[in-house]
Amino acid sequence: MNRPGAILLAGAALLSACQAPVAAESIVRAPIAEVKASETGKQTAIFAGGCFWGIEGVFSHVKGVSSAVSGYHGDTSRVADYQSVSSGKTRHAEAVRVRYDPSVIRYDQLLRIFFSVGADPTQLDRQGPDHGSQYRSALVPTTAEQAKVAKAYLDQIGKSGLWKAPIVTRIESYRGFFPAETYHQDFMLNNPRNAYIERWDAPKVAGLKALYPVVYKAEFTRD
pLDDT reported for residue 17: 53
- Does residue 220 belong to any structural domain of this protein? no
* Cβ contact 180:95 at 8 Å: no
Nearest partner of 63 among 103, 119, 27, judged by Cα: 103
Is 206 a residue whose pLDDT tops 90? yes
Q: Active site includes 51?
A: yes
Nearest partner of 215 among 122, 108, 138, 140, judged by Cα: 108
- Does residue 123 belong to any structural domain of this protein? yes
111-164: per-residue pLDDT in tens? 999 999 999 999 999 998 899 999 999 999 999 999 999 999 999 999 999 999
Is 1 a residue whose pLDDT tops 50? no
pLDDT reported for residue 9: 29
Q: Which residues pair with 65 in a beta bridge?
A: 100
- Residues in Cβ contact with 135 at an 8 Å cutoff, skipping those fewer than 6 apart: 50, 51, 93, 94, 125, 126, 127
* Cβ contact 96:52 at 8 Å: yes
Spell 71-110 as b/e; 16+ CB within 10 A means b: bbbbbeeebbbbebbbeeebebbbbbbbbbbbeebbbbbb
Q: Supply the range of the domain harboring residue 188.
A: 38-211
- Does residue 216 belong to any structural domain of this protein? no
pLDDT reported for residue 3: 33
CA distance 74 to 14: 21
Give 149 or 2, the one with higher predicted confidence. 149
- Does residue 15 belong to any structural domain of this protein? no
**Of 45, 51, 113, 215, which one is the catalytic site residue?**
51
10-62: per-residue pLDDT in tens? 332 233 457 543 345 679 999 999 999 999 999 999 999 999 999 999 999 99
Q: What is the CATH number of the domain that holds 84?
A: 3.30.1060.10
Mean pLDDT of all residues belonging to the chain: 90
- Does residue 176 belong to any structural domain of this protein? yes
pTM, entire model: 0.90
- Does residue 185 belong to any structural domain of this protein? yes
Share of the chain above pLDDT 70, in %: 89
- Does residue 44 belong to any structural domain of this protein? yes
Total of domains in the chain:
1
Paired sense of beta strands 130-131 and 43-49, if any: unpaired
CA distance 125 to 66: 29
- Does residue 110 belong to any structural domain of this protein? yes
